[in-house]
Amino acid sequence: MHVHILGICGTFMGGVAAIARGAGHRVSGSDRNVYPPMSTQLAALGIELTQGYAAEQLEPRPDVVVVGNVCSRGMPVVEALLESDIPYLSGPEWLAREVLSSRWVLAVAGTHGKTTTSAMLAWILEDAGLSPGFLIGGIPGNFELSARLGKLPFFVIEADEYDTAFFDKRAKFVHYRPRTLVLNNLEFDHADIYPDLAAIERQFNHLVRTVPGSGRILANGADANLARVLGMGCWSEVESFARDGESAAGARPSWSARLEPGSDGSAFEVRLDGQRCGEVRWPLIGLHNVDNALAAIGAARHAGVPPARACQALARFAGVRRRMELRGRAGGVHVYDDFAHHPTAIATTLEGLRRRVGRERIVAVLEPRSNTMRAGVHTATLAASLGGADSVWLYAPADLGWDAAAALAPLGTRAHVAGDLDALLAGLQRELRSGDHALLMSNGGFGGLHERLLAALHDGAVAR
């Protein structure tokens, strides 16, 4: 079968393409921005790529067209598709029909931590010899690819609440029908799709309603919003996870962790119903990653992996690219890349780094790139989320739409705003000195700032 994918260079749709190719289909696709690394990854799989959305790409006629949510009415290829009799469907629907319908699906949902938790879970199952399929919104270090078909029965998927396609405005995750569901946390996000938190909670409850009675939900017991979601209706077994003393309802969670006071999260004891069942010692940091680990261990247990075995696997977990990834060290400065783009994620990322580096200086550099961030939804909490840094730089292009200096005013002299990348790089060169930790946060490429900064530091353009 010839499968043609519109919007193929996005992480999710690129994963669908890889899975379709692994299933033996001929795969082609198009996108507005066809460039490495996704273009090279797809080309290596033998996938034909077209730049742009011209109607001519539908000749020769494919058997089915998979439409990404970046596509909209008015695009020439979309209009031509609708005028034709070529079958079309969304990426989540294609995945559900062609792959997930025959699988034990383990889905990971939540505002934060989906990619990392999905990668942990896939690695635990892999280490146990189960060879799961997976589709993850990042590249796990243990696999070096974001998606694969894998073997029956298990399939791990990062379950995103973003809308499905221009013709299907439901959340993508309602298509997946998981038997094991992780609910990491829930906050307001995707302001371009949802008007308020209540609208997102309803979508999460739609997901909960798709889990069978014999299924299992691993829910963050410290999250009051998730408690509200489950209160709307739940017909499956629920196991909660939370670090000791953090259950929102006051009850002891099913899964908990014991950490030493002041721990950076790199070592902790895992408990099930209050009883020790394993210990994790790994290279990751951050208390949020302890939560992620508890969720992954609990989900893997539902698939038959003993907790002690899961803990041993996590000791060899290599993390995910762009999640507190050390991109390099030059001029005595450590330069990190992180995907954080929501105040809560920013704060937890900074907290984890602070616990690791102690009193050494942290310089936080933020690109407010997500639709929600650019809309100014989080300006009231932005400064507080960055408070753990010694110095803060915010990239504020002319079309940002809100007053960046005013938003960061509570930080006083620690805050700096740059209107273009050259000015931002120059400012960082003036400020950074040997021993600093530069944390660059963006859900995009940040204009190659990581590489440019490392090159400048390597050339000696840094204070000593």
What confidence tens digit (pLDDT) does each residue in 324-343 have?
788 888 889 999 888 877 78
Backbone dihedral angles phi then psi of residue 68, each to the nearest 5 degrees: -80, 160
What does the buried/exposed string (b/e) look like for 337-353 if buried means 16 or more CB atoms within 10 Å of the residue's CB?
bbbbbbbbbbbbbbbbb
Digit-coded pLDDT (tens) for 173-225: 999 999 999 999 898 777 678 888 999 999 999 999 999 999 999 999 999 99
The secondary structure element, H or E, covering residue 12 is helix 11-22
Digit-coded pLDDT (tens) for 130-149: 999 999 988 888 997 889 99
What does the buried/exposed string (b/e) look like for 176-209 if buried means 16 or more CB atoms within 10 Å of the residue's CB?
bbbbbbbbbbbbbbbbebbeeeeebbebbbbbbe
Domains of the chain (ranges; CATH) run 2-91 (3.40.50.720), 99-314 (3.40.1190.10), 325-458 (3.90.190.20)
Report the distance separating Cα 75 and Cα 433, nearest Å: 49
Digit-coded pLDDT (tens) for 404-435: 889 899 999 998 988 888 989 988 988 999 99
pLDDT band of residue 371 (cuts 50, 70, 90) is confident
Angle at 29 between CA 27 and CA 35, to 5 degrees: 120
Q: How far is CA 421 from the centre of its chain?
A: 25
Q: What does pTM read for this prediction? A: 0.82
- Positive/negative CA dihedral, 2, 23, 212, 181: negative
Q: Cβ(417)–Cβ(405) under 8 Å?
A: yes
Paired with 438 in beta bridges are 335, 363
Q: What is the pLDDT of residue 195?
A: 86
The secondary structure element, H or E, covering residue 165 is strand 163-165
Q: What is the pLDDT of residue 463?
A: 46
Output 77 or 452, whichever has higher pLDDT.
77
Report the distance separating Cα 138 and Cα 120, nearest Å: 12
**Tokens describing residue 369:** 């790139």
